[in-house]
Amino acid sequence: MARDMILQDEDATIKLATKLTEYARAGDAILLSGPLGAGKSLFARAFLRAFCHAPSLEVPSPTYTLVQSYEAPSCTVSHFDLWRLGGPDELEELGWDEAREGVVLVEWPQKLEDLLPEDALNLEIHVLADGQRQARLSGWGERLKEADLAGYGADI
């Protein structure tokens, strides 16, 4: 099942990320796809601040470190930016297996290749000509189906 929606502005992306924290739990992977500038990092920052219950949490981009981890009340959450990853064999050095015990947010998940988690929530964001974002959510089975996302983006 996939859910398509329009995110009219950055605030809509932030609200969606915040809402999805209500459904995330240890062992989850959230895979963020889309071109540069689509809003993947904006989504990740909003998710991390809400999941960690820390609205002013400093969330630097992990573009150069490849991973940043944060302690949340329920588990550790790790934000991976795999843009510069040479291949999935480098993930072991980054602590991928340990990170999977908590929640992982992954930008550029195609770099995972065979390590793509099958039970992940996939979020694809594309920029429309008018600057709005089209988002497609898929995965998480019944959780996504039952998620009340009304008002967090215009369903299409």
**What is the structure's pLDDT at 115?**
86
Q: How do strand 103-107 and strand 29-33 relate by DSSP bridges?
A: parallel
Domains (range + CATH), the chain? 2-144 (3.40.50.300)
* pTM confidence score: 0.91
**What is the structure's pLDDT at 70?**
94
* Residue ranges of the chain with per-residue pLDDT less than 70: 64, 150-156
Q: What is the pLDDT of residues 4-16, one digit of tens each?
A: 999 988 999 999 9
